[in-house]
Structure 1
Amino acid sequence: MRHKLASASAVFALTLAIGAQANADTANAELHDTNDKAVGSVTLSEDNGKVTVSIEAQALPAGFHGFHIHAVGDCSASDFTSASGHFNPSGVDHGDHAGDLPNLLVMGDGTAAMTFDTDRFAVADLFDNDGSAIIIHAAPDNYANIPERYHEPPPDDATLATGDAGSRLACGVIEQ
């Protein structure tokens, strides 16, 4: 009997250790709109050098929306500008920011769900001194992908910096 208890204790301890390790590589964000209404959640989980990003959202306008990780974990401003610009630790051009994620397609009923993998960042990277946030924008992101034939006049700074994704509809601070 004592052997079975010791084995059960060892299995329980191993399960706790594995769970603690898994939690260290997982983060979440609860998304709220500009009226502070909950509109969705995002989970980021890391395994073998890739981060799986999953979002479920509701009560959003139908269509494509820019979806990004922003550099500061602060959604306190009424327009969410407190989250600063896109997460871009390498200082590269838009479209290649670590925080540039695929556009989010919201269905006609206002719901959206998407899951994808990325290797542009590790979950731990999102927890620098000021944290990070997830933003859903009002318009789709063109990733500053403007064909040469449209460069008369050249793309403006907003296009090059944000991909014309527009205002910020929802924000969530990334937390562990």
Structure 2
Amino acid sequence: MNASAMTPPATDEPPTTHRPFRARGGLALLGLAGMLTLAACGEGNDATTADPTGGQGAATAASSPGPLATATMRHAEGMEVGTAQFTEADQDAMRVSVEFSGLEPGYYGLHVHGNGVCEAESSAPDDPSETGAFLSAGGHLGGDDARHPEHAGDLPALLVTESGRAAMSFETDRLTAENLRDDNGSALMIHSGPDNYANIPERYAPEGPDEDTRSTGDAGSRLACGVIE
């Protein structure tokens, strides 16, 4: 037999092997496992993002107390100059937050008065013959039980900036829900001048502050008033 007749014909196709199919099968399984892992991680992240505080944030927002009372402040001419909020900070203190605008720069006396009536031109409750702006609000809250600046209604001085705006927030243990909302009610008052808190050095007054100073702090007339309600 001729040798050339026994030689198989030449071909360009590579020899058949099953290894590439096994490799592809392994990579496919690894890819599927990776996709499942990423999907599981994504679900975990979504859960964390949806409520990162575990519900505590919503509970805190829901439990934040709103203001116990508010006051809208107006000039004697009726123009609104701002608002105040009274919030129970805890069992022993009241937080007072105020925001005012349209006032001349400088310091002003700020007090809570013991009668919840803000009439622009009115008489004092204890002396009908005395008339003036917002005299209907009476004297300082707690004025019958102490002398200035120990009244329950004596508050920190208000500082108005050059822009005519004033904002401050503070806590006091002199104000309570009971004395703000007693039978007479109460009113927040901005006075026309600064409060000296009856601090009169002896070199100016050897006998100390007089009765007017011990009643009002010499804070001047009543500039703006708001019923606390």
- TM-score bucket (shorter structure): 0.7 to 0.9
Is this contact kept in 2: 1:30–1:38, CA < 8 A? yes
Partner of 2:220: 166
Match of 1:111 among 156, 165, 168: 165
Unaligned runs of 5+ in 1: 1-10
What is the match of residue 17 of structure 2?
Answer: none
Partner residue of 1:46 out of 82, 85, 88: 88
Where 1:149 maps in the other structure, the secondary structure is coil
Secondary structure of 1:54's aligned partner: strand
Identity of paired residues, percent?
Answer: 47
Give, in angstroms, the shift of residue 145 of structure 1: 1.2
Q: Which of residues 91, 103, 121 is equivalent to 1:60?
A: 103
Mapped to 2, the partners of 1:95 and 1:169 lie a distance apart of 20
Q: Which amino acid aligns with 1:53?
A: V
SS at match of 1:51: strand
**Which structure is richer in relative contact order (CA contacts within 8 A, separation 6 or more)?**
1
Q: Equivalences for 1:1-176 in 2 at 5 Å?
A: 22-23=65-66, 26-48=68-90, 49-78=92-121, 79-88=133-142, 91-152=145-206, 154-175=208-229
- Counterpart contact for 1:44–1:123, Cα < 8 Å: no
Q: Tell me the TM-score normalized by structure 2.
A: 0.64
CA contact (8 A) 2:201 2:208 kept: no
Higher CA-based Rg = 2
**2:25 aligns to what?**
none
> Alpha carbon RMSD of aligned pairs, Å?
2.0
Give the length in aligned residue pairs: 158
Moved more, 41-50 or 63-72: 41-50
